[in-house]
């Protein structure tokens, strides 16, 4: 069974990783880093596949924004709301946003699209996208690799516990995802409560400056 799994990953693993990172990809890249530590994949090819997939993905989203942006705003109301938030960030920190968009939860795909809808230079985005994809692919693949390395310090026969370690890693990623979701819900609830307090607070009467 293990040999079949190894053969499957060696044939299809890098294509699956490429597609996963083209679409989104942190979780699949961390898993690929762990599998590289286990010897199923090559860590350098993992980094390369993630670099190419994430770079081409964001270039594609940027192009979609440049060519189909207005249609997206009319079709998707959620996208339109995110557009207004992201546009304020881009106006203030355009270059920084282009670099860190890959690291932002909930805006990973949206930000390149919105950057394409602005006057942000295509050539500058290409350079920043490449540097961002390079750092991202190294960071998250090494995160999975180091997870396996750390586990090997405590577990002597790592192969026997491999399925359980995969479940532990999946649990950690699920907890991180849930924390982002809960934090986002809390911020929205806090903002609504603050707005409600502002609306319900009595207005002070204006001072009368008329003197006899």
pLDDT score of 208 more than 60: no
3-state DSSP assignment of residue 204:
coil
Q: Could you tell me where the DSSP H helices lie in 155-201? A: 162-200
List the one residue out of 61, 71, 50, 31 whose CA is nearest residue 166. Answer: 31
Residue 114: inside a domain, yes or no? yes
Residue 81: inside a domain, yes or no? yes
Query: What is the model's pLDDT at position 209?
Result: 54
Sign of the alpha-carbon torsion through 171, 177, 178, 179: positive
How many domains is the chain partitioned into structurally?
Answer: 1
Tell me which H or E stretch contains 209.
none
pLDDT tens per residue across span 111-138: 888 888 888 899 999 999 999 999 999 9
Residue 88: inside a domain, yes or no? yes
pLDDT tens per residue across span 142-196: 999 998 888 888 877 777 777 777 788 777 777 766 665 565 566 566 656 665 6
- Which residues span the domain enclosing 30? 2-159
pLDDT tens per residue across span 25-70: 788 898 899 989 988 899 999 999 999 999 999 999 999 988 887 7
Residue 173: inside a domain, yes or no? no
Question: Rounded distance, CA 178 to CA 165, Å?
Answer: 20
Residue 189: inside a domain, yes or no? no
Residue 105: inside a domain, yes or no? yes
Residue 167: inside a domain, yes or no? no
Residue 106: inside a domain, yes or no? yes
């Amino acid at each position: 069974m293990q040999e079949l799994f190894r053969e499957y990953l060696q044939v299809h693993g890098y294509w699956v990783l490429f597609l996963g990172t083209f679409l989104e990809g942190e979780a699949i890249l961390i898993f690929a880093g762990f599998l590289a530590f286990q010897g199923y994949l090559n860590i350098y090819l993992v980094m390369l596949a993630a670099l190419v997939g994430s770079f081409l993905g964001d270039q594609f989203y940027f192009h979609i924004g440049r060519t189909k942006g207005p249609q997206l705003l009319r079709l998707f109301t959620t996208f339109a709301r995110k557009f207004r938030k992201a546009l304020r960030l881009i106006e203030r920190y355009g270059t920084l946003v282009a670099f860190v968009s890959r690291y932002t939860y909930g805006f990973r795909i949206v930000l390149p699209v919105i950057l394409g809808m602005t006057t942000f230079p295509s050539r500058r985005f290409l350079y920043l996208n490449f540097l961002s994809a390079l750092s991202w692919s190294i960071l998250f693949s090494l995160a999975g690799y180091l997870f396996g390395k750390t586990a090997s310090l405590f577990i002597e026969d790592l192969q026997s516990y491999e399925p359980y370690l995969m479940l532990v890693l999946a649990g950690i990623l699920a907890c991180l995802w849930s924390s982002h979701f809960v934090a986002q819900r809390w911020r929205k609830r806090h903002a609504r409560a603050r707005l409600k307090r502002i609306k319900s607070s009595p207005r002070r009467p204006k001072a009368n400056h008329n003197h006899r």
